Structure 1
Amino acid sequence: MEVKLTKIIVTLFLIFLTQTLAWAQETPPVTNFSPQDYKAHNQNWALAQSDDRTMYAANSDGLLAFNGANWRTYPFPDGQIVRTVLCENKAYRYNNPKLTQTQNRIYVGGFGEFGYWTKSNNGNLLYNSLSKNKDLASLATEEIWHIERTPEYIYFQSFSRIYRYDGHNILEIKAPGTIMFMRQVHQRLLVPIIGKGLYELKGQKFQPVVGTEQLSASIIATILPFDDQTLLICTNKNGLFLLKDGLLSPWTIAANGIFKQNLINKALILPNDRGIAIGTIQKGLYILDKQGQIKFHIHKSIGLQNNTVLAMTVDRHGDLWLGLDQGLDLIGLSSPLLTYMAKGNPLGTAYSAALWEGFLYVGTNNGVFKKKWPSTDTFSPVKGLEGQTWKLSVVKGALLCGHNDATYQITKSGIIKLSNVTGGWNLLLLEPRNQPALLLQGSYIGLHTYTYMGDKKWEYGKPIKNIPPIPIKYMARDKEGGLWISHAYKGLYYAKLNAQLDSAVVWKSITTDHGLPTLFNIEIQNIQDTIYIKSGNAFFTPGPSQTLIPSQRFAKAAQPFKIRPGTGDDWFTIFNNKVLLHRALKEPIPFDISLVGDYETIIPIDKKRYLFCLNEGFAFFEGQDSPSEGFNTLQTRITRITNLDSLNRHYPLDQKSTLPQWARSIRIGFALPVYGRNIQYQYRLLGLTDGWSDWSSLSMAEYTNLAAGEYRFEIRNNINHMVSRFDFEIAAHWYETVWGKLFFVALGFLLLLGLLWLQERRLQRNRIKLLLQKEKELEDQQKESERKFIELRNENLQKELKNKSQKLSNIAINVVRKNEILEEIRDELQEVKKDLGQQLPNLHYQKLLHSIERNVAGKEDWVLFEENFNEVHDEFFQRLRQRYPSISPSELRLAACLRMNLSTKEMAPALGISIRGVEIKRYRLRKKLALDPDINLVQYMMDI
């Protein structure tokens, strides 16, 4: 009965202890890497870190590599699960020169396969199999689950075989049973064998370890060096044992009962005396101190992705990595912070906190919560203070609360409403001489006072007169007693109170004319007895007569930041994703946290400890500095250079490497192997630009259309601002070389000469063309002038011809008239002769008649007619004589009359013949000219 009761009590105690520890919510920060982050299988079986700080995980999809910025998966040749990984580091001191490699290796194992990866000069990993083509028949059914390193050998272990590699040969060693994970501890290679206990491998033989016989019924998960002479043996279900000098005993600690209830899977000793980490199958991670007390229990409810721990390792910075059944987690053991994390966080966004009477009070958007401090208790709400809380402050031993609804004093028994002043953002304590202490409160509705009544009691006073009821978010008092006040949204003011501290005698608005970049969101902080006013990204300090002087201490930085005071000489700079604690004569302590935007609050708990208000709870700084191994000398590494035109083409990462001539668009990948922190980068490419890029969390830079030549890529980070450099050259195309350029210069010169020659030819052609055009124009003008002259001359000739024709006609008419008159006279004379007879003497008669006949056919008339006729008819007679040399003068006269188109009646008197004679002459002329009867004689003469 007593035994049963004892078991019940122990069980209840363990349950209580487990539940209590489950609420140990202030833990190191946890960073989750989900399968969606690394894009591989959820299960991770082993972890290791190389000398260059790259993290490797044995994943069900292959070997995972993480450089702090990018994940890559390297599958096994046949796609097997990678079960184990070991990085060959410089920290090993080898006795066997065969194992000393000039290039570090990443050893891996899986089903029927083991070997190693090495890094090529372009950043990729290349796999080399050690088991392939080896006469290892047993390996066909074996799976390598663990790799162990000793100074002489590397051991690849399955559950029934061990394959020993000496750098050249592989030796197979068969175990006397099923092996769990072998370990080298205290220079001894210890091999747990299920059902047989613990053995030591010496050479190729297994020898039982004295004192471990009772472990034959237990499954040994791992073996750790507890101290120089003692081994810590962790079993799956039977708890923890200590082995010293051949004596085995349970480790008598309270937590041992927990490990008998939960399956231990992995365990390791943490560096820097941080204790022991134990990973379980169902309850997540336990961290014990050296005395075996549980410091932290980290599980799914407070940050882990999964409670099944498959692998563990500690990185170079002292942080703990967990390979889980669902993802990878990083426990920030090196972080100086403890964070409050709980599933279904009841707090919400924290805006203020205070430590009072042994309790921690946290003011949030959901109200005020409290818990005993320090303790693993849960937070409980303070009744009556539900809703937005802005300020918790301990003043004169009293805890005051500035709430959205009113202002309260919190007591052990409840709350006391001090006033209906809403939105108490801040408090400023004044202790005037010979007067009770006074509190100034900035609120939604101006500035108010509270009077200290003694015995930790405060009473509301009144609003300060002559100060408008504006929302006052920040305020500070200078050495002359003046108040600097900032509006919650827009505005900066200066006020001076009277001696009674109940009215403002000076109220002055400070404008942008005083040098402020902006009046929006102005902050006022008092750091080391100096007031700093932040406007935009600039800081100012008050000067004489309310002037503002730019601060030399907080000059404009590359990244915007805010400042907050600490205790003593401590102060903080607050960036978007980190906070720096500055302490006298020490390097700043970085905290990778993001405070609540626009309400960045840091609460001093005591002289060294601080509480940071976060969007989901809070973080707590216990006052210790970071571990000695920092990141001050760690540089950003260039991880890959890729051709943007072909992303599977990578270039060597050797310094002074030469990229091919077609690599004109490249992507440069880089990473700082620091994990669990918010890292940002700045970079520039000298040879292209001298200016730094903006800060960015992207881990690559892209450049396009680069010219051939030498470049230097520089990269720096926000952790230590160290600058890494990578020099490279882009080879030139043949046409970009000196000879190519000379060729193009010569070709250009020849082309220029050719162009000049062509231009000259073109100009010459144009000149000739213009000359010809001018000549043509002149010729046309000349022709036009000649034409006009000819027309004028022809016109004159026509007129002259007309005149001559008229004259010729007149002559012909005159001749005809004269002949007609003479003929009439002749006829009259003949009639007179007939009538007078002899009365008219014959002598006179014949003389008159002969004179008349001579004038009728006179040569003078014909000569005059012929001259005028030739002028008018262009040598008509000459042409007619040339054609018909036998033509007679009388026939010429007839031809002339015909050309003048005279009628027969007109021709008879002109020719001095009768009409019948004219007809006869026409006939004879036609005959002499041999004209056809159908040819018109007149027309023929006109055509000659």
Structure 2
Amino acid sequence: MNRLVILCFLLVIFTVNAQQQTRLPLRDYFFETWNTRSGLPHNSINSLAQTQDGYLWVGTWEGLARFNGQEFKLFTRSEITDLPDSGVRALTPTSDGGLLIAGARGGISLYQHRQWDTQPNAQAMVNHVFKSKNEDLWLALENDGVFYRPAKSTQDIPIIQNVSAYRIIEDKQGTIWAATSDGLYKIVNYTATLMTPHHGLPDAPVYTLLITREGRLVIGSERGARVLNGNVFESPHPQLSAESISSLLEDNHGDLWFGTINKGVFRLSVDGIEQLDAKNGLPANRILSLLQDRENSIWVGTNAGVFRLREAPFSSWGKKRGLSSDYVRTVLSHSDGSLWIGGSTGLDRLQNNKITQIKGTKQGSPYSVLSLLEQSQGDIWVGTYTSGVLKVVNNELVPYLNRDNGLGSNEVRSLLFDSKNRLWIGSAMGLTRVNTDGSLDQFTNEKELPSGFILALSEDKRANIWIGTGNGVVVYNTQTDKFKPIQFPKAFSAKYAFGFYIDDKYTWMATDRGLLRYQHSNGHMTILGRELGLPVDKLFQIVPFKDSLWLSSNRGIIEVNYKQVNQLLDSATKGSQTLAFQLYDEGDGMLSAQANGGSTPSATAHSDGTIWFATAKGVSTVKPARLKEATEIPLPTIVESFSVDGKPMLLPVDGDTLVLPPGVTRLSFHYAGLSFIMPQRLNFQTKMKGFNDEWVDRFHIATAEYTNLPAGKYSFAVRSAYPNTDWQQNDKVIHFEIQSHFWQKTSFKLVVFFIFVVVIYSAYRYRLYRYKQVEKELTSRVVKQTQALQEQASAFAYQATHDQLTDLPNRRAFDGWLADNFTDFKARNTPLAIAIMDIDHFKRINDGWSHLIGDQVICEVANILKAHCEGEQEVARWGGEEFTFVFPDMHTVQAQQLCEQLRKEVENKDFSSIAQGLSVTVSFGVSDSDNVDDYDRLLSRADQALYKAKNNGRNRVECIAS
């Protein structure tokens, strides 16, 4: 009977659509935990919610926290006006984008449009609050029961009294259900009825409720979970019939999640029931809240912090999941849909998520597997570390060839069956070919090979055999029966060749200096290495998948776009382009970022659309389609703060215009893309309409600053995008207006002009009336007045092009100079170098001392720069703590030397007169105009060099040479 109940429940709850969706086993989720060390105010997570704008909200006993993917912003009684206590018990999003917050002392507040609207307090602690369809506010109170507050009323009307109410919910028919210490109440037309054990309920308190998408009521009680089936409550699973259930969730697959009092989390799906507890990664077994966000991550609130289960790009198999070894060297995709995984202590076959260990030992010890190969008939051949070549026969490893019967070495790192069905064996002592008649041919570094250490073998479409060694690559021509060495250019410094990928035009080689491309038509070689943006030197394996190349390395897995790599390698001006790549590591679900190489295949694409990589901690797999799905999720963009001359401003409501006083010199915007899957990889663009109508790339930088904007109306816009995707239509816009000084207003200018005309006219009339001598005198006065007006105009022009704090030229002056002169320098073929300088850790100076001290530091640094810039060299304040330099008639090297002198001057300067213990350093980014066609690109390269200096430790000069 129990089995029938379970089957019926699963068939009803988990719809056909939900069954068709792919789901991960709990063990394949990527786990992350946040607690007080991460910025939370308290570790007990009473409630979790996500509002329509994309923010995640966390309610704790010590306040409310808002999470944007990278940091928590804390709200306490000081921010939430009139909330009687910082203890937040319940969070409920509203249908119009707001958030209801209920506190431990009965306080209720509504957060909407960035403003707090405090509601009348309830008479006791609010365990839950929500708005019904008719806008009534329902309250579940500790010890006092269930109350409702009619719309547009402040009076709380009791429905159930003298019990502890924990949660209230409304079903599709408008029935209100209340979970209380007495059990489950059904409320119809404001009349409550207690549901009894006669209905299938346990005689125990009910803690939580859920209405599924199918409209079914699920309850969690002190003695198990129940689902309403008709008029009777039934247990969804025997294992859940007696557990103390504290929270419930239905995810996007239709699976049910059950948080318990002391046994962690259970998930019930068509695949059965799974449990996740403190032994398997949870910070604690007491679950207080559950939430699934819009990116389909599961958030678990415990009494030891927030825990997230995320469908990470990568999942891993290791010894805990049945592999013979955690140290995996090779992985092979078989034509029958299985995967073969070889490691330091044996060989395994993975099929249908089940591991089968292949039998076979040498003197009682398992074989250490280095390489794998599938023959055309489906047979598996195995290269080992110390036992030569084996073959799998009836799921058992059987010796085939070793040093005792003709193999050059027992260390076999690569195997290949060529088109003539000859077996090629790459070992540590050369190359062995097993002919179809069983005879052996040996090739060594004494004659045919540049090195006897063979790492990789591959056959191209012309039946040529490509051989990767510890000292370059050689190709065996099957028609001439000769070996032809492929000479790596000395400039590449490449030596080891770990793997091949051969397409119609190129042979791609994974080497110890990057990705090398060999063109079949002319033998021309190019290399994608660190110089072109690759984050590592050494690559092991190349796996093509659709429009990408996946590269394994010691620092993780790198994804690059095949077309963009070719464009970059084909470009004559390689330095003007940037490699777009994604580097995946432990933060993306890998147990170890150290992918293994030196044996083949160490990575492979599988028939189910996954890619597998051998690593130092198991075999890791990624499904690129899942990555693409993640980037198609709508990505909200938020402007989080806006400051004027260092003072925070209240952000305007959408559509409103913020009016700023005259004389504003610095505007700062801090923004975020609300992605919790890959927040650190998001890219941003900003635009200041009214100043520059073009989108400006900010890359990963989440701040934008503007200085000395003239009076007028502006619109600041920001948008975000996932890596390697198009920009979404998610612009966030802030409208503001900078007011004019009275002398800047048109009316004032008209009055001045009118007065001026009147004075001129009067002078003219007076001149006609007086003698010629008086006429000369008046003419002289007019000249003097005209000169005075010109001087005033010059003063205004000076103010518009100079920074008020340092009296240096400002960004406008610098941009104007560069725009006016760049073309002339290019036309004369005269070098021009620029530099961007940034004061290191300037925020620490402002935070540690004060903004006044920060301004003094800026002035002192400006004085140093002015004192050491000579001749036609120009220095300007770029904005904030950034300065720019122009070095006419100089290349990068000369400008770098001058910047190094300036860096030392600042580093050696004694700033103790400004503040005790204060020391200041600066970082420079330098570039020149060689091979640059426009000054924006010149600035971009200098900016990239500055980021390089920052990333390399600051207090240094970095350059991007042409």
Structure-1-length-normalised TM-score: 0.60
Distance 1:232 1:727 in 2: 44
Worse overlay, 594-603 or 186-195:
594-603
One-letter amino acid of the structure 1 residue matched with residue 147 of structure 2: Y
Q: 716-725 vs 154-163, which deviates more?
A: 716-725
1:572 Cα deviation after fit: 4.3
Amino-acid identity (%): 12
How far is 1:438 from its partner? 1.5
Question: 1:612-671 CA deviation, whole Å, 9 max, x = no partner?
Answer: 44564344457975797863653533322235735x556548577565556544543222
CA deviations 1:11-31 (Å, max 9, x no partner) are xxxxxxxxxxxx977422233
- Tell me the secondary structure at the aligned position of residue 248 of structure 2: strand
2:257 to 263, 266, 277: 277
- Could you tell me how far 1:340 is from its partner in structure 2? 4.3
User: What does residue 891 of structure 2 align with?
Assistant: none
Structure 1 position 493, deviation (Å): 3.3
Is the 1:484–1:492 Cα contact (8 Å) retained in structure 2?
no
Question: Is 1:718 aligned to residue 722 of structure 2?
Answer: yes
Q: Partners in 1 of 2:535 and 2:625 — Cα distance? A: 27
Map of 2:738 onto structure 1: 731
Aligned to 1:526: 501
Structure 1 residue corresponding to 2:120, chosen from 128, 131, 139: 131
Q: 1:318 aligns to what?
A: 296
Equivalent residue, structure 2, for 1:617: 618
Match of 1:819 in 2: none
Give the RMSD, CA atoms, in angstroms: 5.1
Instruction: Summarize the Cα distance change of 1:215–1:583 in structure 2 as closer, same or farther, 3 Å threshold.
Output: farther
2:92 to 67, 81, 86: 86
Partner of residue 4, structure 2? none
The residue type equivalent to 2:460 in the other structure is D
Higher strand share: 2
Q: After superposition, give the CA deviation of every residue in 1:399-455 in whole Å (9 maximum; x if it has no partner).
A: 4444555645375445748446476444333131xxx431343x55554445689xx
Question: What runs of 5+ residues in structure 1 fail to find an aligned partner?
Answer: 1-22, 91-103, 755-944
Amino acid at match of 1:526: Y
Match of 2:146 in 1: 162
Which residue number corresponds to residue 51 of structure 2?
50
CA distance in 2, matches of 1:321, 1:669: 26
Q: Residues 704-853 of structure 1 correspond to what in structure 2 (within 5 A)?
A: 706-708=708-710, 714-719=718-723, 720-722=725-727, 724=731, 726=733, 731=738, 734=741, 737=744, 749-750=790-791
3-state DSSP of counterpart to 1:439: strand
Q: Structure 2 residue aligned with 1:264, among 245, 248, 271?
A: 245
Alignment CA distance shift 1:550-1:269 (3 Å): same
Contact kept, 8 Å, 1:180 with 1:221, in 2: the verdict is yes
The one-letter code of the counterpart of 1:493 is V
Where does residue 477 of structure 1 map in the other structure? 459
- Alpha-carbon shift at residue 270 of structure 1 (Å): 1.9
Asked if residue 431 in structure 1 is aligned to residue 436 in structure 2, the reply is no
Structure 2 CA distance for partners of 1:598 and 1:302, relative to 1, 3 Å: same
Change (3 A) 1:200 1:690: closer
**1:220 alignment partner in structure 2:** 206
> Is the contact made by 1:24 and 1:377 (CA closer than 8 Å) also made in structure 2?
no
Please tell me the residue identity of whatever aligns with 2:308.
L
Q: Quick one: distance in 2 between partners of 1:565 and 1:285?
A: 40
1:358-437 correspondence to structure 2 within 5 Å: 362-363=341-342, 367-368=345-346, 370=348, 373-374=351-352, 390-395=370-375, 397-403=378-384, 405=386, 407-409=388-390, 411=392, 412-413=395-396, 416=399, 418-419=401-402, 421=409, 424-432=412-420, 436-437=421-422
For residue 228 of structure 1, report the CA deviation from its aligned partner. Answer: 4.8
Q: Name 2:177's counterpart in structure 1.
A: 190
Paired AA for residue 429 in structure 1: F
In 2, the alpha carbon distance for the partners of 1:493 and 1:126 equals 67
Within-5 A mapping of 1:202-217 = 202-209=188-195, 212-213=198-199, 215=201, 217=203
Query: In structure 2, what is the Cα distance between the partners aligned to 1:544 and 1:609?
Result: 33
Indicate conservation of the 8 Å contact 1:638/1:653, yes or no: no
- Residue 193 of structure 1 and its aligned partner are, at CA, apart by 3.8
Q: What SS is found at the alignment partner of 2:674?
A: coil
**2:229 maps to which residue?**
244
1:144 to 126, 141, 157: 126
Q: Larger helix proportion, structure 1 or 2?
A: 1
Q: Deviation at 1:301?
A: 3.5
Contact conserved, 1:527 with 1:565, CA < 8 A, in 2? no
1:400–1:408 CA contact under 8 A, matched in 2: yes
Residues 1:116 and 2:112 are matched in the alignment: no
Q: Alpha-carbon deviations, 1:462-517, whole Å to 9, x = none?
A: 345511225454554333333445555xx65342345596xx432241326xxx86
* Shift, 1:127, TM fit: 3.0
Cα distance, 1:130 vs. partner? 1.3
**How far does residue 265 in structure 1 lie from its aligned partner after superposition?**
1.9
Conserved? CA contact 2:66–2:74, under 8 Å = yes
CA deviation map 1:853-903 (0-9, x unaligned) = xxxxxxxxxxxxxxxxxxxxxxxxxxxxxxxxxxxxxxxxxxxxxxxxxxx
Q: Identify if the C-alpha distance between structure 1 residues 200 and 750 changes in structure 2 by more than 3 Å, giving closer, same or farther.
A: closer
> For 2:126, what is the secondary structure of its paired residue?
coil
Paired residue type of 2:266 = Y
Structure 1 residues 374, 150: CA separation in 2 closer, same or farther (over 3 Å shift)? same
Structure 2 CA distance for aligned equivalents of residues 83 and 302 of structure 1: 28
CA contact (8 A) 2:358 2:397 kept: no
Note the alpha carbon deviations across 1:497-552, whole angstroms, 9 max, x for none.
45596xx432241326xxx866367675426655443687776352324234899x
Q: Is the 8 A contact 1:563 1:572 kept in 2?
A: no
Note if 1:171 corresponds to 2:156.
yes
Q: Is the 8 A contact 1:679 1:717 kept in 2?
A: no
Structure 2's unaligned 5+ residue stretches are 1-23, 78-82, 404-408, 564-580, 754-784, 796-962
1:427 and 1:157 map into 2 onto residues whose CA distance is 69
Task: Confirm or deny that 1:547 pairs with 2:524.
Answer: yes
Q: Deviations over 1:266-325 (max 9, x none)?
A: 22222233x2112223332222114x712x433334333333221111222332211122
Amino acid in structure 2 at the alignment position of 1:718: Y
Match of 1:915 in 2: none
Q: In structure 2, the residue corresponding to 1:36 is in which secondary structure?
A: helix
Residue identity matched to 1:533: W
Q: Does 1:105 align with 2:98?
A: yes
Match of 2:186, SS?
A: strand
CA–CA distance in structure 1, aligned partners of residues 150 and 425 of structure 2? 77
Give the equivalent residue in structure 1 for 2:449. 467
For the Cα contact (< 8 Å) 2:472–2:496, is it kept in 1? no
Question: In structure 1, how many angstroms separate the alpha carbons of the residues matched to 2:694 and 2:387?
Answer: 56
Larger deviation, residues 656-665 vs 64-73? 656-665
Tell me which residue corresponds to 1:293: 272
Matches within 5 A, 1:551-700: 572-573=549-550, 592=588, 596=593, 599=596, 602-613=603-614, 616-620=617-621, 631=632, 633-642=634-643, 645-646=646-647, 648=648, 652=652, 664-677=665-678, 679-683=680-684, 695-696=699-700, 700=702
